[in-house]
Amino acid sequence: MTNSGKLLIITAPSGAGKTTIVRHLLETIPELSFSVSATNRPRRPMEINGRDYYFLTTERFREMVEQGAFLEWEEVYTDQYYGTLRSEVSRIRSEGKVVIFDIDVQGALNLKKEYGDQALSIFIQPPSLEALIERLKNRKTEDAKSLQKRIDRATQELTFKDAFDQTIMNDDLNQALSSARKIVREFIGPSDLH
């Protein structure tokens, strides 16, 4: 399979729709395999360990940082860590699949720097900061303090959109999904799966 060295990095501020787009790409492009990130944040009610994230204790996360287990990691919010496990990327690549990441902006920049032309980085842009704030509020997954942290971070992350290979405006979900499929298919090439 010719795709095994390629990586696809999907990034956006929280609430821009990157997870929806990543799930769609996984459902429609069989060559892709999702890189599950690790975090020490509490698991939300619908999340499953090993599918959505590898949920680690803060102590275990820090031990794994010391052991060099992460390709990249970051303290995204105070005492809240996220990272990409080397073992996860190796596992997917050994299966001959294209690794797809759903990752925060700083993590995406780090991965792009690590992999260069092997990786395609796509920034999902919300229609406006106001629309993004409304989406975050409508999730009802955050308390007021946590919501404000996400809004502050999103405002800062939007300034990095030009650092990525492609930008997809997510003001019309169907159009954004179509654009994402087209960009990804061009990057990984025609399917050789039958």
Q: What's the rounded Cα separation, in Å, for the pair 99 and 101?
A: 7
Amino acid at 113: K
The pLDDT-based confidence of 147 (bands split at 50, 70, 90) is: confident
pLDDT digits (tens, 9 = 90+) for 111-139: 999 999 999 999 999 998 888 888 888 87
What mean pLDDT, rounded, does the chain reach?
Answer: 91
Which residue(s) pair with 122 in the sheet? Answer: 10, 166
> What confidence score (pLDDT) does residue 28 get?
97
pLDDT digits (tens, 9 = 90+) for 149-185: 888 888 999 999 999 999 999 999 999 999 999 999 9
CATH architecture of the domain covering 7-188:
3-Layer(aba) Sandwich (3.40)
pLDDT at residue 78 greater than cutoff 90: no
Provide the H-helix boundaries in the chain: 18-28, 58-66, 86-94, 105-115, 129-139, 144-157, 173-188
Where exactly are the structural domains of the chain? 7-188
**β 32-34/38-39 pair status:** unpaired
HSE-up of residue 62 (Cα within 13 Å, Cβ side): 5
The CA-based angle 175-176-181, given to 5 degrees, is 100
In this structure, what DSSP letter does residue 9 have? Answer: E
The model carries a pTM of: 0.87
pLDDT at residue 140 greater than cutoff 80: no
CA 177 to chain centre: 15
Which residue(s) pair with 142 in the sheet? Answer: none
Q: Residue 10's closest CA among 183, 146, 137, 152? A: 183
Main-chain dihedrals φ then ψ at residue 134, nearest 5 degrees: -65, -40
